[in-house]
Amino acid sequence: MDNESYIKECILLARKSEKKDEIPVGAILVKNNTVLSRAHNMSISLNDPTAHAEINAIREACIKINNYRITNSTLYTTLEPCPMCISAICEARIDRVIFGAYADKEKNFVSKFEFMKKKFTLNHTPEFIGGVLEKECSLVIKKFFKAKRC
């Protein structure tokens, strides 16, 4: 499958979060063209602030492969990873991160990552590709928060 196909599947996972009144983010972790894990946000339902889609996908994949390193892998997610998730991605040695929506209008993800890498001495640098199906991913999040405000 290509990047867009995986992101479309992440959008479906994000909608599962939305149905549970969670912030709608979905993630898929792939290694050697095999899906290791699929996850969505579950922080509210699990009462766990670390239960982001990316972290949930990493945890599930680590259990599946019986290793805390997931080298030669790609993480797909509907939203740019937060600092906590970036740290976990680096610790897991994930090679690529493909995401849909940016967290802010400036789309300055790379500069945020470079700051984190320098400030917190992250010793692994994944390749980040943002904006894959950006409009579709952004719309899922925007609709969710718009409904919350009504």
Residues that are catalytic: 54
Give every CB contact of residue 89 below 8 A, 6+ residues apart in sequence.
54, 58, 75, 81, 97, 126
Q: Which helix (H) or strand (E) holds 139?
A: helix 134-149
**In 3-state terms, what secondary structure has residue 110?**
helix
Tell the burial category of 16 from Cβ atoms under 10 Å away from its Cβ (0-12, 13-18, 19+).
middle
Tell the burial category of 142 from Cβ atoms under 10 Å away from its Cβ (0-12, 13-18, 19+).
exposed
- 131 closest CA partner among 103, 89, 96: 103
